[in-house]
Structure 1
Amino acid sequence: MTTTLQTRKRGLHRAWIVAGVAFVAILGAAGFRATPGVLITPLQEEFGWSRGTISLAVSVNLMLYGLTAPFAAALMNRFGMRRVVSCALLLVAAGSGLTILMNAPWQLVLCWGVLVGLGTGSMALVFAATLTDRWFVRHRGLVTGILTAGGATGQLIFLPVLAHLAAAQGWRSAAVTVTVAALAVVPLVWFLLRDRPEEVGTTALGADPGAVTALPPVRAGGAAAQALTVLGSAARTRPFWLLAGGFAICGMSTNGLVGTHFIPAAHDHGMAEPTAAGLLALVGIFDVAGTIASGWLSDKVDSRILLGAYYGLRGLSLMILPSLFGATAEPSMLVFIIFYGLDWVATVPPTVALCRQIYGAEGAVVFGWVFASHQVGAAVAAVGAGLTRDHFGAYDLAWYVAGFLCLIAALMSLAIARKASSKP
């Protein structure tokens, strides 16, 4: 046994292979979820639907993307990551593929809102939290950052490709591309992802020889009961509400507002959609560096301070964004894109770290609920910004409100206690 462990130490630990598979799945989930941003204008032009109507489907997608997360975490505890993620990919493929047959707004809500929302929600960042808890003792923050960066990479890969497909061949070609990509990932997940190190005769990276992965107890009533019980316990503590409130604002200012409405907002100022999609993809390039760096920092720096800095700087940048839009990508806009990219989901590693520090073995499920608040915030911003544009003819008010809320989130983050004993 000692010889076997020494051999594994000299080679590539299985944890890195599992993390690589998870990276691909999370990468795809982010790309699939971000696709509606490039479809808003084409759908509006073909069907005559208002941006508020189309944004409703995006809002449902975002809402379910988040609300699915805590239940997905509990399902992973009960049935395993491999089964849950494989089923999630099949849901995404079905939801995206069926959109090519739609002719009414409710069908868009059902396909892209419900099916794709449920599928991508099951592969959301709670998947990264669950995997790092089981497979890593050393480098947890760094790996969380890398997996989170997979979301940015998915956006980086998919958005420009889908934008060009939608412009050149119609939005249906983009939907079919998502279906094919989701199906292609299923075999990779099924054959290479494993739920626990013990299944392949090893231990978590950095764990003592012979250590066994600690899993939260599976409560009577199944995954839903477990997720709701954890919520009931966490909701009685003050740190949970500060984390959830800050992360809701995080969702408003990223997926809900910038991720959904940056392309149509830029188009309003005369910028071509492929150019705007390229800028949003550029956010993904810098997000990779920013999120990995944030993961590394969360292993070394107080996560509350990191969150306060990230939210505060994001708020200030959003307040100047309305003055940067134009028909071309000026240097000032490029500076914003670079900065916003570095900050985009840098909030995730310190948030995961705080959930783990405060709530222990149930930290992944707690993070699922915190992430749910992120997507509720994103959903509110997605539909709210669309209605703002319909009513005022511009997005300016949405950018200013989001910036102000980010400053509030910075203060909330600094107020988080290290223990869960304080009452809300």
Structure 2
Amino acid sequence: MSTSARSPWVILVAACVVLMVSTGLRNSFGVFFKSVADEFGWERATLSLVVSLNMLVFGFSQPLVGRLVDRWGPRRVLALGALVLGGGFGAASLTRNLLETYLAYGVVAGLGFGATAITVASALITRWFDRNRGLALGIAAAGLSAGQIVVVPLSTGLLGRVGWREGFLVMGLGTAVLLTLVVLPMVQDQPAAAPVPTAGRGRALARHEVAPGAAMRTLPFWQLTAAFFGCGFAITLLSTHFIPFATDVGLSRSEGGRLFGAMGAMSIVGSLTTGWISDRLGRRWLLASVYLLRSLVLLLLVRAQTVTDLWVFAVVFGFTWAAPFPLTSAFIGDLWGKNAIATIFGTMFFIHLVGDAAGAYVGGLVFDRAASYTPVFAVAAVMAMLGGLSVLSIRAGMSEPAIVSREAAAAGR
């Protein structure tokens, strides 16, 4: 396809596929969790620490990944990330002890996840879309959720047919081939001409380009970041421990997988709905509402006693699962412009992933000590409530301590 014929919607499709594969692989670890722990005789906290290391490496990579995207462009970063991610899963299939598992899945796969993450996709989409940016980012976030619907069931099938080692190998090779040979040829860093700015409530604040350092010295940056930490804590707590929790309360692994898949399906609905609404009514109140709704449904999980309770939780929590990603990314563009969005969002996403790491490890630790996930589910509910209140308190004018030129913003000064 020629450069002149490249459509923003083709770019969006490619971004969705990358996010579907990368996030689907990351969320699949819960499928293999008990099999890996049983083979090595590890406690859940021990294996949860591998997931936490993966999240920390993923997180620490985000400011650097954002900087590389702003300088090199998204396409090169995605290509490198696809190869590293595939190699990490291939290496994880061969591990013989805890140290090798730390290195293969914790470090190598963590770097691969970092370079194929929403940070890169958001920057790519923001370069191609101005009108309907919230909707486009919502569609991309639906790619995150599609991984739960497509990749997680495939992982469950692989585990039942060939075991966890061969399953990891197949997923690693498939990822490297699919992304580098099929998807990335569709990607172009930016259109020949920049998109023309359009009016709309979701974009009303974006009058200036603000440098990353200046943005990070504002109160709204830290309000959004604090909420994002709690978001990460809840998401990886559930992606790592929900299926083990479901089997602990008497469901089969396949039933737990169906519930988890339902979260993915509803996450698509949530991302598309909230993205579309945010272009018309603004981001702040909608993002706050998503966090507050999540808090309420996590409290339901604390007291869940029946399969019906779990299905209600899966549907409602799923609606909130990926919605904070497009809303936060679009809100960043509204507040500080889009020239350095990858650096700003990448730094914020790093804190989100620290929350991811904490959720994975604390969930396993609490279960090992209390033989229950109830206390940690309650903590996640409180975090979501505080996040919603934090976002709700953001006001116009709080985000502009220093206005810089577009050239300085592009240079990251």
What TM-score do the two structures reach when normalised by structure 2?
Answer: 0.89
Tell me the residue number matched to 1:343.
Answer: 320
Mapped to 1, the partners of 2:211 and 2:90 lie a distance apart of: 35
Q: Which amino acid aligns with 1:246?
A: A
Q: Which amino acid aligns with 2:267?
A: D
Q: Which amino acid aligns with 1:386?
A: G
Q: Which amino acid aligns with 2:367?
A: R
| Contact map agreement 1:286 1:338 (CA 8 A) in 2 | yes
SS across alignment from 1:22: helix
Q: Give 2:171's match in structure 1, choosing from 166, 178, 189.
A: 178
Q: Does 1:383 align with 2:361?
A: yes
Q: Give 1:27's match in structure 2, choosing from 20, 23, 37.
A: 20
Return 5+ residue gaps in structure 2 as ranges.
199-207, 403-413
Tell me the residue number matched to 1:225.
Answer: none
SS across alignment from 2:96: coil
Q: Which amino acid aligns with 1:271?
A: L
| Contact map agreement 2:66 2:345 (CA 8 A) in 1 | no
Tell me the alpha carbon deviations over residues 184-234 of structure 1, each in whole angstroms, 9 at most, x when there is no partner.
221124422111112xxxx355569xxxxxxx99xxxxxxxxxxx965433
Tell me the alpha carbon deviations over residues 331-360 of structure 1, each in whole angstroms, 9 at most, x when there is no partner.
332122111111111112221122112211
Tell me the alpha carbon deviations over residues 211-262 of structure 1, each in whole angstroms, 9 at most, x when there is no partner.
xxxxx99xxxxxxxxxxx96543332111110100000011111x2111110
Q: Which amino acid aligns with 1:197?
A: P
Larger displacement relative to structure 2 (237-246 or 16-25): 16-25
Query: What displacement does 1:51 show?
Result: 0.8
Mapped to 2, the partners of 1:46 and 1:325 lie a distance apart of: 31
Q: Which amino acid aligns with 1:281?
A: G
Mapped to 1, the partners of 2:11 and 2:284 lie a distance apart of: 29
Tell me the residue number matched to 1:240.
Answer: 221
Query: What displacement does 1:418 show?
Result: 2.6
Tell me the residue number matched to 1:331.
Answer: 308
Mapped to 1, the partners of 2:196 and 2:87 lie a distance apart of: 39
| Contact map agreement 2:69 2:342 (CA 8 A) in 1 | no
Mapped to 1, the partners of 2:362 and 2:211 lie a distance apart of: 30
Q: Which amino acid aligns with 2:258?
A: G
Tell me the alpha carbon deviations over residues 268-314 of structure 1, each in whole angstroms, 9 at most, x when there is no partner.
11221122122111111111111011111111123110121111111
Q: Which amino acid aligns with 2:191?
A: P
SS across alignment from 1:334: helix
Report percent identity of matched pairs: 32
Tell me the alpha carbon deviations over residues 168-189 of structure 1, each in whole angstroms, 9 at most, x when there is no partner.
3211122022112212221124
Q: Which amino acid aligns with 1:375?
A: L
Query: What displacement does 1:53 show?
Result: 0.9
Mapped to 1, the partners of 2:55 and 2:278 lie a distance apart of: 27
Mapped to 1, the partners of 2:53 and 2:233 lie a distance apart of: 14
| Contact map agreement 2:28 2:151 (CA 8 A) in 1 | yes
Query: What are the residue-to-residue correspondences of 1:307-326 with 2, within 5 Å?
Result: 307-324=287-304
Larger displacement relative to structure 2 (100-109 or 355-364): 355-364
Mapped to 1, the partners of 2:34 and 2:316 lie a distance apart of: 27
Q: Which amino acid aligns with 2:312?
A: V
| Contact map agreement 1:145 1:294 (CA 8 A) in 2 | yes
Larger displacement relative to structure 2 (171-180 or 229-238): 229-238
Return 5+ residue gaps in structure 1 as ranges.
1-7, 209-215, 218-228
Q: Note the aligned Cα RMSD (angstroms).
A: 2.2
Q: Does 1:78 align with 2:71?
A: yes
What TM-score do the two structures reach when normalised by structure 1?
Answer: 0.87
Tell me the residue number matched to 2:330.
Answer: 353
CA separation of 1:230/1:120 partners in 2, compared to 1, >3 Å: closer, same or farther? Answer: farther
| Contact map agreement 1:15 1:204 (CA 8 A) in 2 | no
Tell me the residue number matched to 1:212.
Answer: none
Tell me the residue number matched to 2:182.
Answer: 188
How many residues matched?
Answer: 388
Tell me the residue number matched to 1:403.
Answer: 381
Mapped to 1, the partners of 2:151 and 2:232 lie a distance apart of: 20
Larger displacement relative to structure 2 (240-249 or 367-376): 367-376
Q: Give 2:116's match in structure 1, choosing from 108, 120, 123.
A: 123
Q: Which amino acid aligns with 2:332?
A: C
Tell me the residue number matched to 2:201.
Answer: none
